Homo-oligomer: A and B are copies of this chain.
């Protein structure tokens, strides 16, 4: 049977690197803003351009563009340019799972 100290030591040894912790927390942090949560929700339904997201959320193009950059910086969304439009969609199914898992927690009784 392990001592309490041995347990602590084991956890300390298995702790992720600062780099991984930072990227992980920034990823959650980026999901953790109502505007971006709504953007993620919208994009879980369809690929959308800035003007459409702007209309959906009732916010300025500029505000949306700033937020899309935050999402893109952490690889949560991908961008596809078509003429002067920029279409955004979720980067992969991981993001959708992450979002769904969070939703399940929130909707729990």
Contacts and interface: CB of A to CB of B under 8 A. Distances in A.
Interface of A: 4, 7-8, 10-12, 14-16, 18, 20-34, 36-38, 41-42, 45-46, 48, 52, 55-56, 75, 94-95, 97-98, 101-108
Given A45-B11, A55-B8, A27 B102 contact: yes
A32 B27 contact: yes
A42 B10 CA distance: 10
- For the residues of A in contact with B, the DSSP-based class is helix
B27 A33 contact: no
B42 A31 contact: no
Contacts of A4: 52
Q: Which of A22, A23, A102 has most chain B Cβ within 10 Å?
A: A102
Given A28-B29, A32-B28, A102 B107 contact: no
Contacts of A55: 8
A108 to B, nearest CB: 7
A41 B25 contact: no
